[in-house]
Amino acid sequence: MDLNTVLTITPARSREDLRALSPQVAPLAGGSDLFADPQVHLTGLVDLQTLRWPALTVTTDAVADGVTGTVADGVAGTDPGDTGGVSGLEIAATCTLAELSRLPAAPGWTAHPLLFQCCTALYGSFKIWNVATVGGNLCASLPAGPMTTLAAALEAEVLIWRADGSDERMPAAAFVTGNTTNVLGTGDVLRSIHVPASSLASRTVYRKIALSPLGRSGAVLVGRLDPAGGFVLTVTAGTVRPVQLRYPSLPAASALARDIAAIDYWFTDAHGAADWRRAVSGVLGEEIRAELEGAALENGEHP
């Protein structure tokens, strides 16, 4: 819709330009969230797309040092370092879901299908994917935000450009703090999301349920079995913020069910009642556990 109170669009060319941000001036990425609701408090927008951040960068997995590999339109081609030949992935906040969904797999990216699967959990259509950004989805911080699911499930680290000029990295799972709230303050900008190689080398299983076949998510769960055998279940959409259950190895069904039932961030809205969300998360969690167990047995591994 028209944002009739917006009088200025500032194309950002450098980080300096982000100083224009204020409670009345918001960062604009794809626009699919900003333009979908009245924003009468806004007088201006700062266009982040003009920063031309490379959408997808396949990296050596040395994120702690801030070292990234070369950019090749999202195609792997860097020194994988000591991660067993598997690369990490840096996703610019301004990367569209369409770009992410089309990214080809790099060697060893067992978790690669999850990128597309999480895009399909977006309520918006594939035409929305063409404009909606990964960062924008995280920053909207809706419980059903599928990029939050993806980033949390893959233990991604987000890079925040704080308004004071400092950089901050934190686990993506901690970025969203509640229903449409997050750690960003006024003037802060989400710069990128770094997915470590170890996560991409994990086996993942994705499940979504809604009140209708393709409706806005009522619960989205991702199980991730890392190469070392550790299991993480990421519970989203049914909870106001991502919840992660961690186990040194695949847990027994009863333990997982008990732990899911003990989560207390369930909420009710038009897309599902809290008690139902808790219950179906238990169902999906067990499906995930069973599928990973079956896959492990098939591969002769001991889950």
Partner 1 sequence: MRFQINGEPVDATPAPGQCLRSFIRDQEHFEVKKGCDTGDCGACSVLVDGTPVHSCIYPAFRAEGADVTTVAGLGRPGDLAPLQQRFVDAAGFQCGFCTAGLIVTASTLTEPDLDDLPRLLKGNLCRCTGYRAIEDAIRGTHTPADGSGRTGLGPVVQTGRRPGTVGTSLGAPAGERVVSGREPYTLDVTVPGLLHLSVLPSTQAHARIRSIRTDAAAALPGVHAVLTHADSPATLYSTARHEDRLDDPDDTLVLDPIVRFRGQRVAAVVADTVAIAEAACRLIEVDYEPLPAVFDPAEALRPGAALVHGDKDAAASRLADPQHNLVAELHGEYGDIAAGLAGAAHTVSGSWQTQRVAHTHLETHATIGWLEPGPDGENEGTGERLILRTSSQVPFLVHREICRLFDLEPSRLRVFTARVGGGFGGKQEILTEDIVTLAVLKTRRPVQYEFSRSDEFTLSPARHPMRIYVTLGADDTGRLTALKLGVLADTGAYGNHGPGVMYHGSSESVSLYRVPNKRVDAQSVYTNNLPSGAFRGYGLGQVIFGVESALDELARTVGLNPFDLRRLNSVGPADPLVVTHVEGEDLIFGSYGLDQCLDLAQAALARGNGQAVPAGAEWKVGEGMATAMIATTPPRGHYAQASVTLGDTFGDTFGDVTAANPGRYTVRVGTAEFGNGTTTVHAQLAATALGTTPDRIEILQSDTDAIGYDTGAFGSAGIVIAGKAVLAAANDLAARLRSAASERRPPIASAEWTLEPDGLRSGTAFVPLAELAEHAGASVLRGTGAEDGARRSVAFNVHAFRVAVSTLTGEVRILQSIQAADAGVVMNPEQCRGQIEGGVAQAIGTALYEEVVLDGAGTVTTSVLRNYHIPLLADLPLTEVYFADTSDVLGPFGAKSMSESPYNPVAPALANAVRDAIGIRPTELPMSRDRIWRLLHPERAAG
Binding site for partner 1 (CB under 8 A): 1-9, 28, 31-32, 35-37, 40, 42, 44-45, 49, 120, 123-128, 130-131, 209, 211-216, 218, 269-277, 279-280, 283
Do 159 and 146 contact (CB within 8 A), yes or no?
no
Closest C-alpha to 115, from 134, 130, 140, 139: 134
Do 152 and 242 contact (CB within 8 A), yes or no?
yes
Nearer to partner 1, 39 or 110 (CB): 39
**What does the block give as tokens for 122?**
């977006």
Give the shortest CB-231-to-partner 1 separation in angstroms: 22
Nearer to partner 1, 121 or 176 (CB): 121
Give the shortest CB-214-to-partner 1 separation in angstroms: 5
Nearer to partner 1, 89 or 288 (CB): 288
Nearer to partner 1, 130 or 244 (CB): 130
Q: Residue 159: beta bridge partners?
A: 169, 192
> What secondary structure does DSSP assign to 22-51, as a single string?
BTTEEEESS-TTGGGS--TT-SEEEESGGG
Residue bearing tokens 């060319």: 13
Nearer to partner 1, 44 or 69 (CB): 44
Give the shortest CB-251-to-partner 1 separation in angstroms: 20
> What secondary structure does DSSP assign to 246-265, as a single string?
EESSPPPHHHHHHHHHT---
Give the shortest CB-250-to-partner 1 separation in angstroms: 21
Nearer to partner 1, 7 or 170 (CB): 7
Do 129 and 98 contact (CB within 8 A), yes or no?
yes
Structural element, H or E, at residue 182: strand 181-182
Cα separation, 79 vs 69, whole angstroms: 7
